[in-house]
Amino acid sequence: MDFQLPAELTRLLAELDGFIEREIKPLQEQDDNQRFFDHRREYARTDFENGGVPRPEWEELLAEMYRRADAAGWLRYGLPKEVGGSGGTNFDMAVIREHLAHKGLGLHNDLQNESSVVGNFPVVHMLLEHGTQEQKDEFLEGIFTLTRRVGFGLTEPEHGSDATWLETTAVRRGDDWIINGAKRFNSGMHSATHDVVFARTSGEPGDARGITAFIVPTDAPGFSVDFHWWTLNMPTDHAEVTLRDVRVPNSAILGEEGGGLAVAQTFVHENRIRQAASGVGAAQYCIDRSVEHARQRKTFGQPLAKRQAVQWPLVELHTEAEMVRGLVRKTAWELDRVPHEEISDKVSMCNYRANRLVCDAADRAMQIHGGLGYTRHLPFEHIYRHHRRYRITEGAEEIQMRRVAGYLFGFTGPRSRRAE
């Protein structure tokens, strides 16, 4: 087995680095845009007087980065050619996401917003796999040009990972559906034009079938964005949403009626492996910066690097990063070759281990850098605050472990089907 990166991918990374140096770094450095990335970042980005949502200046900077990346052919790299992409594979995207996160904080790859010069578009993948041609025509190009912004409304006040127990309902009335319910941590609602809302349309609580995804305009009567939750990492885009007799046409259904969980799985599967790759890259950044600091910083007449109390925790993290990197790349390679459900447990392994790894690495980097590591003048607290969310969102690590256990013991996955 050849463990070397393909020469074409290595060349691609070099070209990507060149684009960032020419186009993105100068943009980050002009007009005091650095305020969004240095110790002022949380305050520069957050409109605290307007519910804690992103400031318009911050979002406009991200939009300009998007425009430049799209014009240069990078933004859609991981998407099919039918939507202007390059057909980048899961393996390509895993390597690229790790590479970009390993560069540290910057406009090239701001994970707080899932914003990157090489875009991650789970909603696009949902539309490509489940959308009608009319839905694709209406939304796809608009998502890239930011004239269409689509939120994701699955979690509810009383239900998160137990998505089969949703209390939001949709009832057919002639050619329309009437939706009632509430969503929590509904992402992107400060600027969304539409929201993918999951509601029960048939069956009983706990049934996997009977949940349907609807594309709902956010200006529909009865659709209310009540407030945004302030989170550990700010600004926030996690809204509390209420739907009261919201009427949508039958054409608003995304995917199959009653098959909404398959739509949701498309969203999270696309994200989980790439989040894992980003976690490895950010963890390695924290490790490398800590090693560099330990070699330079002297205490009691000797570099910190000579202290076993400093060496061994970094050795443990460096070893785990190497192991998780191998698992992430192998799993991404397999995702390009076998049906996703066959290796869903491996995706879960990658996700929860990488999310833990980067949190541990950021915490250790703060410790090794001492008092300065605790300040916002260094990036580690920001990295920790951002990545800590992924141990909860889109499947908490306990849910990921539950998925692995299901495959391991034959309760779910290919072994359970063979047993039947």
Owner of token pair 């949190």: 359
- Cα–Cα dist 27/48, whole Å: 25
Residue 244 falls inside a structural domain: yes
Q: What is the pLDDT of residue 1?
A: 60
Residue ending a domain, among 216, 238, 254, is 254
Same domain, 68 and 32: yes
Determine contact, residues 234/42, Cβ cutoff 8 Å.
yes
| Maximal CA-CA distance, the chain | 81
Residue 138 falls inside a structural domain: no
Same domain, 93 and 228: no
Same domain, 186 and 282: no
Could you tell me the residue range of the domain that residue 302 belongs to? 261-409
Length of the chain: 420
pTM of the model: 0.94
Which CATH number is 62's domain given? Answer: 1.10.540
Per-residue pLDDT of the chain (420 residues; tens, 9 = 90+): 678 899 999 999 999 999 999 999 999 999 999 999 999 999 999 999 999 999 999 999 999 999 999 999 999 999 999 999 999 999 999 999 999 999 999 999 987 778 999 998 989 999 999 999 999 999 999 999 999 999 999 999 999 888 899 999 999 999 999 999 999 999 989 999 999 999 999 999 999 899 999 999 999 999 999 999 999 999 998 999 999 999 999 999 999 999 999 898 877 776 888 899 999 999 999 999 999 999 999 999 999 999 999 999 999 999 999 999 999 999 999 999 998 888 999 999 999 999 999 999 999 999 999 999 999 999 999 999 999 999 998 788 999 999 999 999 999 888 775 544
Residue ending a domain, among 254, 279, 314, is 254
Tell me, what amino acid is at 305? A
Task: Please state, in angstroms and as integers, the Cα–Cα distance from residue 164 to each residue in 24, 52, 182, 209, 352, following that order.
Answer: 43, 31, 15, 8, 22
Same domain, 297 and 239: no
Provide the 3-class DSSP secondary structure of residue 130.
helix
Residue 377 falls inside a structural domain: yes
23: left (phi over 0), alpha (psi -120 to 50) or beta: alpha
Q: Where are the beta strands (DSSP E) in 19-164?
A: 46-47, 53-54, 109-110, 115-116, 150-153
Same domain, 229 and 275: no
- Cα–Cα dist 163/155, whole Å: 7
Residue 103 falls inside a structural domain: yes
Determine contact, residues 382/105, Cβ cutoff 8 Å.
yes
Task: Tell me how crowded residue 349 is: count the other CB atoms within 10 A of its CB.
Answer: 21
Residue 186 is inside which H or E element, if any? Answer: strand 176-187
- Cα 277 versus chain centre, distance: 11
In our burial notation (b when 16+ CB lie closer than 10 A, e otherwise), range 163-185 reads bbbbebebeeeeeebbbbbbbbb
Residue 102 falls inside a structural domain: yes
Residue ending a domain, among 254, 286, 309, is 254
> How many degrees, rounded to 5, is the angle at CA 249 between CA 245 and CA 255?
110
